[in-house]
Amino acid sequence: MKPFRRILLILGLSLLFAAEASAQFKEDAFTQSYNDPADSLRFKKDSTDTLFSFKEYFGGITHKRDARIGTLLAGSSILIGGYQMYNRDYWKLPIIYGGLGAGIGMGINFKNRGMDQEAKWCFAAAGLLYWGTFMDGAINYKRNIPNQPGKATIYSLLLPGLGQIYNGEAWKIPIYWGGLMGSIHFWRTNHKNYTRYRNIYKAASDPDIAYDGPVKAETAQYYRNVFRRYRDYSILATFAFYLLQVIDANVFAYMQDFQVSDDISFRMQPDLFMPDAGFAYSGMSAGPALKFGLTF
């Protein structure tokens, strides 16, 4: 049992050392404020308590207060044109509502007349205009700081890779677009093969159909399940690459102002080890210790 107790003791001390070093690192490295100082005053109640505030949104579009770009995005998804109202681009509202009304109205009309292809084009045009309202609003959203993490995030949500361009990291675009295009390609291919073998299995296993194809029901069932699983993996990969580039744009936009000093130093100083309740029950008491700090 003695070796086992020694291992537990060493593990406990290692965890304490890691926690102490981590706390010291945070204390030394993150004592500066990297956000716009005005944000703490303008968004003091809304920035940390809620993700979306109706008071902030409607106060922003009526120009009674400032609004965050994320709040405007959420609100404008329902009240179309909110971005344009906040940016004082009122002349764009008739174009937006007129275009959306015309696209949806013509699409419904074509749909009722049995012209499905024309209806799809009209609905697609209306959807493109709807997407354009967000892009226009994000582009014209003005702040008095050089880089805006919120804008980089919105850019990547609307168009993958655009947030990386905003952050000055366009070299990442081939990575994310390659991953997205590859995932979508396998998504389509696997879905096509899944549909093919699903139909073969239905025909081969239906007693009312005289099936004489080269693929047996058991074989078709096996490949149907395989390609369905691969299709699901491809879907997950597509959304993973999309989400990853959004997170990348947000994180590296925040890191634009992260200041790293050229003076890298390691500091060691005496300290007093104070065990918490969990260690106190095991018989450990206070004692001398060493405190390590890394400054950069």
50 or 213: which leads in pLDDT? 213
User: Taking Cα atoms as reference points, which of 171, 193, 169, 196 lies closest to residue 255?
Assistant: 169
With a CB cutoff of 8 Å and minimum separation 6, the contacts of 52 are: 70, 71, 74, 75
With a CB cutoff of 8 Å and minimum separation 6, the contacts of 191 are: 227, 231
Question: From the centroid of its chain, how far is CA 24?
Answer: 30
pLDDT in the model for residue 31: 41
Mean pLDDT rounded to a whole number for the chain: 79
pLDDT in the model for residue 162: 94
Interatomic CA distance for residues 277 and 296, integer angstroms: 33
Interatomic CA distance for residues 155 and 147, integer angstroms: 13
Q: In the chain, what is the greatest distance between 2 CA atoms, to the nearest angstrom? A: 86
User: Taking Cα atoms as reference points, which of 214, 196, 200, 76 lies closest to residue 137?
Assistant: 76
pLDDT in tens, 82-97: 999 999 999 999 999 9
User: Taking Cα atoms as reference points, which of 135, 134, 166, 137 lies closest to residue 149?
Assistant: 166
pLDDT in tens, 98-149: 999 999 999 999 999 999 999 999 999 999 999 999 999 999 998 776 678 8
Per-domain residue ranges of the chain: 50-142
With tokens 């239906």, the residue in question is: 206
Are the CB atoms for 167 and 256 separated by under 8 Å? Answer: yes
pLDDT in tens, 55-79: 888 998 998 988 888 888 889 988 9
From residue 77, alpha-carbon distances to 73, 81, 133, 283 in Å are 6, 9, 9, 60
From residue 13, alpha-carbon distances to 72, 184, 189 in Å are 49, 49, 54
Q: What are phi and psi of 267, to 5 degrees?
A: -120, 135
Summarize the confidence of residues 222-237 as an average pLDDT: 94
Q: What are phi and psi of 66, to 5 degrees?
A: -85, 155
Angle between helices 149-158 and 116-140 (to 10 degrees): 170
Rounded percentage of the chain residues whose pLDDT exceeds 70: 69
Confidence of residue 259 (pLDDT cuts 50, 70, 90): low
Interatomic CA distance for residues 191 and 230, integer angstroms: 8
Numbers of helices and strands, H then E, in the chain: 12, 2
Confidence of residue 203 (pLDDT cuts 50, 70, 90): confident
